Amino acid sequence: MSAVLYDVPGPRAKARNRIANVVVILLVLAAVGWVVYRLNASGQFESRRWIQFQYTSIQQQLLDGLLNTLKAAGLATVFALILGAVLAAARISDHKWVRVPATLVIELFRAIPLLILMFFFYYGNLQWQLGIGPFWDVVFGLTLYNGSVLAEIFRAGIAAVPKGQREASYALGLRKNQVVRLVLLPQAISAMLPAIVSQLVVLLKDTALGFIITYGELLYVAKQMGGRLQYGFPYIPTYMVVAVIYIGLCSLLSLLARYLEGRSRRRRKITGAPPPLPITDAGDATREIGLS
Amino acid sequence: MLSVLTDNWKLFVDGFWTTIRLFLVAGVFSLVLGTALAGFRVSPVPALRGFGTGYVNILRNTPLTLVFAFLVFGAPKMQIELPSYFWSAVTALTIYTSAFICEVVRSGINTVAPGQSEAARAVGMTFLQVLRIVVLPQAFRAIVPPLTSVLIALLKNTTIAAGFSVAEAGAIPAVMAERGENQVLTLVWITIGFLIAIIPLVLLQRWAERRTAVA
Amino acid sequence: MRMRTLVSTVGVAALALTAAACGKSEPSAGGSGGGNASDSCGQLHKFTTASGVDVAGSPTFTKIKSAGKLTVGVKADQPNLGYKDASGKRCGFDIEVARMVSAGLGLDPDKVEYKEIPSANRETAIAGGEIDYYVGTYSITDKRKKQVSFAGPYFIAGQDLLVRKDDTSMDAGKTALKGKKVCSATGSTPIQRVKDEQLTEPSNISEFKTYSECVSQLLDKKVDTVTTDDAILKGYAATAPDQLRVVGKPFSVEKYGIGLPLADKALRDKVNSVLAAGEADGTWKAIYDETLGKSGSDSTPPPLEKY
């Protein structure tokens, strides 16, 4: 697509591009080299800053942290999907008294910063002694926010099915429930899937907010490890390792989203199903959908 | 209920003022960096394209909190100095948000009909001219709604700075807890504050959506 | 992109495998890392577990007996005070006090189950029965006495300043803080005192979740001093004596107590008598010298406040 922005390079342009290419590569290498030099000069590669990773108990802690991250993300995913489905159903209801409150709820939870949502549970628990731990603060916070975003994805997915299908179904005498369940949803799901999965990337990343309310997820463990004076405050080594884990996990999910998007695009060519919703991962996928 | 707000008026005002400053400064920087990155990603130079792709893929799959932690606890360890925690937060938000802006701008560039840039090339424009004079002005109109979404996300993301010693709106609850104030009411007021701050952005979005719908 | 992602994923897997393959269960003191021997928790104090103990009229004790184990709330990030080392072992003065009380209650101190409770959740954890008692730089205050009951005090601390070793500009104590960048834990009493007494300008105050993060910023010269109870600061100074020191001009009195459920007066009396016995027979002095005493300063047990 972007190839139309410039002419097929001629000999001079080719030479110019080659020079630019080399310059850019050199610049990037220089930047990387400088960072590595700084890291080395400030002793970040000293073995005392890495030695913690050798201890089985530390490995166990990292693993526990990772499991806590996945546990919160997994449970929140299930809850958010359920909440999203309920809110979306209410949102497309024919009854105004169902539709309007649902819309308000969705808009509200999408507008509140996630950290503040988690604070509601965290401080609410301290104030009223509800007996819910930081795990549930994280899960509930993630559920409310992502449930609202998913509700909009569901709604947009259903709205993306060509109007004629709906009209044809009603003409056949199907009830609204049947139209949505039998005709619209099956087609909408494949269009929604990429957007849903990429929203799950957002959800997974947001578990890292948990450390602020003392939930023992991966970043929390990393901060504990980095905060050991005995090992020269190895923040950089620990963050490097944790970053690799986060990026690896999220990339896997992103990859899945792209794959689903490609598949649904290919399928559309054959069956005429609705196009996939755009993936945004901006933490607010729905506005973009509103455009389409 | 009102006294929670009025008794601590200065705390709320200072907090939200810092939030807004974070948002504006990081927003402008992100727009500049994000647009440049999008330019990289469609440029004829393969190395630039590779750099842009790598940057976006890494940053989009990293928790913002981790970016913050790297800058606040990691950077000083390698003697990379930022003037204050406020600027550390601005840098973290910019690095993260620009990856999303890059993607929005890039998809905006793709919405401009190919014939336009072909015509521009036919009259002899270079890549940068095509981008600057023909494609970007049209792309920006189409991308205002998704761009606003990214900016709304940025506004909400500023609260993470509270975990890194920036006294913005997200840091208000901790102070109020120490003052023994009602924390849930505090949070209600913070929510109202954010709703008010988001309204102009949503209005901008709606307006742009209507305009593009007509065009 | 697909290739890149694959590479990073394989990288993670490989890393996890190698890590698992070369796991060490014990930190090698003074080994390849060149760290000193205080890297890890050493030998813990040996206590004699009392036998046939019964605390009549204590619901908490009944619960402990029927569960067969003791759950104690502690801190994990305060060197020589309440600390968990890289191998997962716990040590420090607060830990030893917790173990002393356990032995006095007739339960094997080596089988105590520890729970890390953040400062803000201490009252909730005690009242909700999540822990049986709490030992972790817990100052006795009138406000807290309304929510929990305290045995002790077992130690008297005071707010002090931790500075870089070569920095003498704050040796006068709190009056020298004007214009200095001060760091402490978010929402903690020490930082509140700095704010209330306007010891420095509001823009010079930094707050982080843990003291370790503040100390890290201190070493990186992003802040000039870390302020909190001297007991906590001494723990850091004892770990890196060539980089850090405590000013030694305390400007508050913090009486550390053992937090107990509010209504359980019987248990409080029992814990107080365990503390009194430990102070009388020299155990208190012994565990102090093995932990905080390593920073070089002496201390004596404070008188108990029985109420």
Angle between the C230-239 and C211-219 helix axes, to the nearest 10 degrees?
Answer: 50
Res A285: pLDDT: 39
Q: What is the mean pLDDT of residues C16-39?
A: 45
| Rounded-to-integer distance, Cα B144 and Cα B131, Å | 17
DSSP A3: G
Closest Cα to residue C272, out of C98, C101, C50?
Answer: C101
A159's CB contacts (< 8 A; 6+ apart) are none
pLDDT tens-digit series, residues B104-158? 998 888 888 888 888 988 898 888 888 888 888 888 778 888 899 999 999 999 9
- Closest-CA distance, B73 to chain C, in angstroms, reads 7
Res C150: pLDDT: 93
pLDDT tens-digit series, residues C224-244? 999 999 889 988 988 888 899
| Lowest-pLDDT choice from B17-26, B58-67, C184-193 | C184-193
* Chain A residues lying within 8 Å of B130, measured CB to CB: 5-6
Closest-CA residue of A relative to C35 is A48
Winning range, highest mean pLDDT, from A58-62, B26-30, B101-105, C28-32: B26-30
CATH tag, A51-269: 1.10.3720.10
- The larger pLDDT score, comparing residue C306 to residue A45, is at A45
Could you tell me the pLDDT band of residue A272, with boundaries at 50, 70 and 90? Answer: low
Longest dimension (CA), chain A: 76
Closest-CA residue of C relative to B52 is C1
pLDDT at A238 over 60: yes
- The larger pLDDT score, comparing residue A2 to residue B169, is at B169
B111's CB contacts (< 8 A; 6+ apart) are B139, B142, B143
| Rounded-to-integer distance, Cα C123 and Cα C120, Å | 8
In a domain, B12, yes or no: no
Q: What is the mean pLDDT of residues A183-200?
A: 87
Q: What is the mean pLDDT of residues B76-103?
A: 92
pLDDT at A290 over 70: no
Res C301: pLDDT: 82
Res A283: pLDDT: 41
Exposure string of B3-25, with b = 16+ CB inside 10 Å and e = fewer, is ebbeebeebbebbbebbeebbeb
Residue C78 has phi, psi (to 5 degrees) of -115, 100
- The larger pLDDT score, comparing residue A279 to residue B83, is at B83
The bridge status of strand C148-157 relative to strand C90-91 is unpaired
Q: What pTM value is reported for the model?
A: 0.85
Could you tell me the pLDDT band of residue B195, with boundaries at 50, 70 and 90? Answer: very high
Instruction: Tell me the H-state helices in B82-182.
Output: 85-111, 114-122, 127-129, 136-157, 172-178
Res A279: pLDDT: 59
| Lowest-pLDDT choice from A148-152, B51-55, C4-8 | C4-8
CB–CB contact B66 A206 (8 Å) = no
User: What percentage of chain C's residues is helix, strand, coil (to nearest 5)?
Assistant: 40, 20, 40
C65's CB contacts (< 8 A; 6+ apart) are none
Question: Which pair of tokens denotes residue C284?
Answer: 């208190």
Res A90: pLDDT: 93
Could you tell me the pLDDT band of residue C24, with boundaries at 50, 70 and 90? Answer: low
Q: What is the mean pLDDT of chain A?
A: 86
Among partner residues C5, C209, C220, which is closest to B76 by beta-carbon distance?
C220
Q: What is the mean pLDDT of residues A161-181?
A: 89
Could you tell me the pLDDT band of residue A3, with boundaries at 50, 70 and 90? Answer: low
In a domain, B197, yes or no: no
Res B211: pLDDT: 74
Domain carrying residue B108:
21-169
> Can you spell out the DSSP letters for B174-201?
HHHHHTT--HHHHHHHHHHHHHHHHHHH
SS3 state at C148: strand
Closest Cα to residue B33, out of B135, B137, B105, B111?
Answer: B105
Which CATH number fits the domain that encloses residue B159? 1.10.3720.10
Among partner residues B54, B73, B178, which is closest to C192 by beta-carbon distance?
B178
- What are the sequence ranges of the domains in chain A? 51-269
pLDDT at A77 over 50: yes
| Rounded-to-integer distance, Cα C58 and Cα A48, Å | 48
| Rounded-to-integer distance, Cα A158 and Cα A176, Å | 13
| Rounded-to-integer distance, Cα B70 and Cα C276, Å | 48
Res B37: pLDDT: 95
Q: What is the mean pLDDT of residues B162-183?
A: 86
In a domain, B201, yes or no: no
Q: What is the mean pLDDT of residues B182-188?
A: 91
pLDDT tens-digit series, residues A204-230? 999 999 988 888 899 999 988 898 888
Q: What is the mean pLDDT of residues A28-47?
A: 90
In a domain, B182, yes or no: no
C283's CB contacts (< 8 A; 6+ apart) are C45, C47, C100, C277
Closest-CA residue of A relative to B48 is A24
| Rounded-to-integer distance, Cα C8 and Cα B92, Å | 23
The single residue listed with the structure tokens 């400062």 is C119
CB–CB contact B187 A7 (8 Å) = no
Cα-atom radius of gyration of chain A, to the nearest Å? 24
| Rounded-to-integer distance, Cα A83 and Cα A77, Å | 10
SS3 state at C245: strand
| Rounded-to-integer distance, Cα A280 and Cα B56, Å | 12
Task: Evaluate the CA torsion angle C188, C191, C197, C202 in order and state its sign.
Answer: negative
Q: What is the mean pLDDT of chain B?
A: 90
Interface of C with B (CB under 8 A): 1, 4-5, 120, 186-187, 192, 206-209, 213, 216-217, 220-222
SS3 state at C155: strand
The bridge status of strand C205-208 relative to strand C244-246 is unpaired
A44's CB contacts (< 8 A; 6+ apart) are A234, A236, A237, B77, B78
pLDDT at B207 over 60: yes
pLDDT tens-digit series, residues C165-215? 999 999 888 899 999 999 998 878 888 889 889 999 988 999 998 899 999
Amino acid at the residue A60: Q
| Rounded-to-integer distance, Cα A150 and Cα A144, Å | 10
Domain total for chain B?
Answer: 1
